[in-house]
Amino acid sequence: MTQERSRRRRERILDAAFHVFSGLGYRGAAVDEIARQAETSKGGVYFHFPTKESLFLELLRTTADRLVAKVEREAARESDPIARADVALWTVLSTFAGHRTMARLLLVDAIGAGPVFQAELERLHERFAGLIAAHLERAVEDGIIAPLDTATVAEAWFGALHEIVVRWLMASRPDVLERTYPTLRAVLLRGVGIDESRIAALPER
């Protein structure tokens, strides 16, 4: 098998796994169904991913990588560190809002799948909190906000965002997730001492 053919089959398996895990959850998903949807054999799946666990872990990692890359790309369009933090939070929330299945896979199913997946989820939290902390540190350096423990604040910010998204995922009749953002943003920015005029100058979400 050529490298390119192997790569394409691996991508098909991951795409199929995303749909199967999203629809049936980790415990309900069967490798046979993933193989069927990927139009390959069960052995073809195991060639790339020795276990269902390794396949789900890779799916979590690739999905998280894509989301983090999107956040970094959108934030890089801004020069102001507060605007960058705002864009980072908004990009995560709006992406989850538009991809409820992906959000559930990352934030709900991974928790119930076991400690290995919880550790992966924890790494995802650390990555996002690290992105936010970097923007807050720049805001401190620029004198926009007073010196503070940016790591703890970033964890609190992402924790608040995470709680809102999970509650939305668990709701039987969820409202529009994006409607929560203006209030969330105002609370978080006021908490680090951003004045009202600066908050008002940010783009409407």
Indicate whether 144 pLDDT > 80.
yes
Give the model's pLDDT for residue 129.
Answer: 92
Q: What is the pLDDT of residues 17-52, one digit of tens each?
A: 988 988 888 888 899 999 999 999 999 999 999 999
Alpha-carbon gap, residue 90 to 87, rounded angstroms:
5
Give the model's pLDDT for residue 86.
Answer: 94
Band the pLDDT of 1: cuts 50, 70, 90. Answer: low
Give me the percent of the chain exceeding a pLDDT of 90: 67
- 39 close to 12: Cβ distance less than 8 angstroms: yes
CA angle 128-170-158, nearest 5°? 20
The model carries a pTM of 0.84
CA-CA-CA-CA torsion sign (81, 75, 107, 63): negative
- 182 close to 164: Cβ distance less than 8 angstroms: no
- 146 close to 153: Cβ distance less than 8 angstroms: no
Q: Where are the alpha helices (DSSP H) in the chain?
A: 3-28, 31-37, 42-48, 52-75, 81-98, 100-104, 110-112, 115-141, 150-170, 181-191, 196-201
Q: What is the pLDDT of residues 120-136, one digit of tens each?
A: 888 888 999 999 999 99
Could you count the other beta carbons within 10 Å of the beta carbon of residue 145?
21
Say if residue 189 is exposed, middle or buried (CB neighbours under 10 Å; 0-12, 13-18, 19+): buried
Average pLDDT over the chain reads: 91
Band the pLDDT of 105: cuts 50, 70, 90. Answer: confident
Indicate whether 8 pLDDT > 80.
yes
Indicate whether 195 pLDDT > 80.
yes
Give the model's pLDDT for residue 130.
Answer: 94
Indicate whether 87 pLDDT > 70.
yes
- 35 close to 83: Cβ distance less than 8 angstroms: no
- 16 close to 38: Cβ distance less than 8 angstroms: yes
